Amino acid sequence: MAISFGVDYYPEHWPRERWETDAKLMQEMGVQVVRMAEFSWSRLEPREGEFQFGWLDDAIALLARYGISTILGTPTAAPPAWIIARNPEIQPVDSQGRVRHFGGRHHDCQSNPAYRAHIKRYVTAFAEHFGKNPNVIGWQVDNELGNSHEDLCFCEECEKRFRLWLQERYGSIEELNRHWGTVFWSQGYNSFDEVFAPRMTASGHNPSQMLDWKRFCSDLVLDFHNFQAEILRKAAPGKFITHNMMGFSDKISYFDLADHLDFSSHDQYPGGHFQEDPNAPRAARLAAPLDFIRGTKHRPFWIMEQQSSITGWGDMGRAPRPGQLALWAAQSIAHGADAVVFFRWRTCTVGTEQYWHGVLPHSGVPGRCSRELSACMHRAAPLMARHRGGLPKPKVAIVFSYEQEYAFQIQPHHPELTYLGHVMTYYRALFERNIPVEFVREGEDLSGYEWVVAPLQYLMTPQKEAQFRAYVENGGNLVLTMRTGVKHEDNLCMDNQPLPGALHDVLGLTVPEYDCLRETDVQVDWGGARYRGLKWSDLVEPQGAKPLAVYASEFYAGTPAITVNEYGKGRAYYVATEMDAPLAARFVQEMVDSSALRPLLDTPQDVEVCYREAGGKAVYFVLNHTAQEQPVEIPAGWTPVEGFDGAPLPPYGVAVYEGPLPGEA
């Protein structure tokens, strides 16, 4: 039977006598799967080679009697004290040379050979033992890879690996010197052994070295994952491997990771705080990571941890309002989750996460949250069976790039400019018009999209230039933005032609000058209406491009701020500043007016509409993220799906309709 709902379960936190009550309650609620054991190393191997798998066997068997399958995590995000006592060199070292000690989690260096040996021993035994169990359906390697490793690890092992990675990338030290521009500040190297990890310096860093370090760290985390995944696949070939990613977390490229997974998973905590742009309105901020994770494989994904009550460690978030938990779960499903696993089953009484609340409170007595979630599961499961596997087919793609993000972390230009914040300008404006978006990685085939928005294409390659050119030539609508074509992929500035480089004829312009908007912004005029450009102005000199909006203040008043150029069968837009929200909304209106692009529905702010394909039709979700009742005008061809609210939508209400696919009315 296909799985729709589950919970993250830690039976080792509770007396055995309670387990059966838990299993019974889970079954009544509609729980079909648990994830377990990703933090249980000290209970499963209390001393080297002394495996105590029995209690977990029992838990799996008991849950199976209640129709509940198991996903098991490898416990490498928290190596036990006996390992650290024996091999203290496993603990990671930060950029200032300080060791991150035992006592929390993620106190591990992912390069360390002693740690790899411990992992190999444990994961092999674990996989061989549980791989035979038919109730174990899949694996998760580690937990939220990249989490807590703020600047990753600067220990000698990591440095050694970095040198090997560089040797492989550049072949010779002369090549590295060239690609890193080491003539500056006397950084020339005679051999790879002289190259250091970029630890805290007296002053500044080499941007090319920093970019390679970030690439290396992403590759290291990927290698750490694959090292374990290979052991698991060999021991238990019939089971899936997934990973609980964290939306836009940046330490490892999730595109690369997803290539090694059977499907992607994501942890969704609307009340927590991850890396989203805090200025974006809430609903868009919650939706974006879901769309992003879907984009890692363009396939349905799982939520491996979905908020189930109040979040918190030392401080706490708000109590979810009545309806909000079910709304958030529905949002995950609406954006492509085929299964939702709630974190955690019961609020724990011990440890760091005593206040990260679960489905059940500390007392274990079901309360409001568990009643709401139970109702949510019973109501949504039949619907999920209908659209399982189905996805939306967005006409707009947003190109997302870890490399561009890294480059702007290294040199943000403006203290408040972030890559993700800039990307969110576009996402948010499209979201607010209920225009579905697909995130794509750099280099991916773009031909299926009517619009491609590629923000901050700062690091440029001839391949990317050729791809963008061909896309427009063949009739695509391309949106490029400020700081396009500034650098080579090794983070050295281009010098062979004026900005934006080779794409100047596609865009019909050059950018001879720019202005960093420190402590100010710039007025923008579009057809007589006033808007603001933020953080940055590229000063555009049109060479065929038509200005849509112009700057209306500063010494460059009258200079184009947004342009469009016809090229081949398509059009290329250039947005020379970071748009404020009203300007971005105006820009999306231009997208609608100038093409076949249409919103799914017009709704009040923070009432979201999205859809999934289901057997040639569409299932439309209308999600009210506000505390007020909201009117929504439902199209005549949409029929309500039983069990969900209708319009007007109650506070935090969820309405679901079946209707023709967008554009097939």
Is residue 376 near Zn ion by the rule CB under 5 A? no
CB closer to ligand GAL out of 339 and 539: 339
Structure tokens at 559: 């200079």
Residues that bind ligand GAL (CB under 6 A): 143-144, 244, 267, 305, 343, 353, 356
CB of 288 to Zn ion, least distance (A): 32
CB of 154 to Zn ion, least distance (A): 7
Near Zn ion by CB under 5 A, which window of 96-104, 111-119, 605-613, 655-663? 111-119
Q: Which of Zn ion, ligand GAL, none lies near 356, with the C-beta cut-off 5 to 8 A by kind?
A: ligand GAL
Would you mind telling me the total number of residues written for the chain in this entry? Answer: 665
Is residue 111 near Zn ion by the rule CB under 5 A? yes
CB closer to Zn ion out of 109 and 376: 109
Tell the burial category of 138 from Cβ atoms under 10 Å away from its Cβ (0-12, 13-18, 19+): buried
Render 9-78 in DSSP notation, one character per residue: --GGGS-HHHHHHHHHHHHHHT--EEEE-TT-HHHH-SBTTB---HHHHHHHHHHHHTT-EEEEE--TTS
Q: Which of ligand GAL, Zn ion, none lies near 276, with the C-beta cut-off 5 to 8 A by kind?
A: none
Q: Which residue of the set 38, 159, 276, 305 is catalytic?
A: 305
CB of 410 to ligand GAL, least distance (A): 26
CB-based closest residue to ligand GAL: 356
Residue in the structure block whose two tokens are 């009742």: 629
CB closer to ligand GAL out of 285 and 422: 285
Rule CB under 5 A: choose which of 7, 141, 153, 549 binds Zn ion: 153
CB closer to Zn ion out of 153 and 437: 153
Query: Are the beta carbons of 432 and 585 closer than 8 angstroms?
Result: yes
Question: How far from chain centre, in Å, is Cα 662?
Answer: 26
Beta strands 437-441 and 396-400: pairing type?
parallel
**Which DSSP helix (H) or strand (E) runs through 610?**
strand 607-614
Spatial separation of the C-alpha atoms in residues 394 and 391, rounded to whole Å: 9
Question: How far from chain centre, in Å, is Cα 134?
Answer: 31
Question: How far from chain centre, in Å, is Cα 376?
Answer: 25
Q: Which of ligand GAL, Zn ion, none lies near 630, with the C-beta cut-off 5 to 8 A by kind?
A: none
Is residue 404 near Zn ion by the rule CB under 5 A? no
CB closer to ligand GAL out of 146 and 500: 146
Q: Is the dihedral of CA 419, 420, 423, 425 positive or negative?
A: negative
User: Is 633 annotated as catalytic?
Assistant: no
Q: Which of ligand GAL, Zn ion, none lies near 360, with the C-beta cut-off 5 to 8 A by kind?
A: none
Report the chain's terminal Cα–Cα distance, integer Å. Answer: 34
Is residue 217 near Zn ion by the rule CB under 5 A? no
**Which DSSP helix (H) or strand (E) runs through 624?**
strand 617-624
CB of 144 to ligand GAL, least distance (A): 4
**Residue at 393: amino acid letter:** K
Rule CB under 5 A: choose which of 26, 158, 195, 649 binds Zn ion: 158
**Which DSSP helix (H) or strand (E) runs through 378?**
helix 368-387
Q: Which of ligand GAL, Zn ion, none lies near 144, with the C-beta cut-off 5 to 8 A by kind?
A: ligand GAL
Q: Which of Zn ion, ligand GAL, none lies near 353, with the C-beta cut-off 5 to 8 A by kind?
A: ligand GAL
Q: Which residues of 357-388 are buried (b: 16+ CB within 10 A; e: fewer)?
A: bbbbbeebebeebbebbbebbebbeebbeebe
Is residue 109 near Zn ion by the rule CB under 5 A? yes
CB of 228 to ligand GAL, least distance (A): 17
CB of 495 to ligand GAL, least distance (A): 44
User: Is 150 annotated as catalytic?
Assistant: no
Structure tokens at 138: 């899949």
**Residue at 288: amino acid letter:** A
Is residue 155 near Zn ion by the rule CB under 5 A? yes
Q: Which of Zn ion, ligand GAL, none lies near 143, with the C-beta cut-off 5 to 8 A by kind?
A: ligand GAL
CB closer to ligand GAL out of 356 and 638: 356
Q: Which of ligand GAL, Zn ion, none lies near 83, with the C-beta cut-off 5 to 8 A by kind?
A: none
Beta strands 437-441 and 477-481: pairing type?
unpaired
Beta strands 529-542 and 477-481: pairing type?
unpaired
CB closer to Zn ion out of 178 and 199: 199
CB of 244 to ligand GAL, least distance (A): 6
Query: Are the beta carbons of 464 and 486 closer than 8 angstroms?
Result: no
Structure tokens at 648: 């007007």
CB of 490 to Zn ion, least distance (A): 24
CB closer to ligand GAL out of 143 and 253: 143
Residues labelled as active-site residues: 144, 305
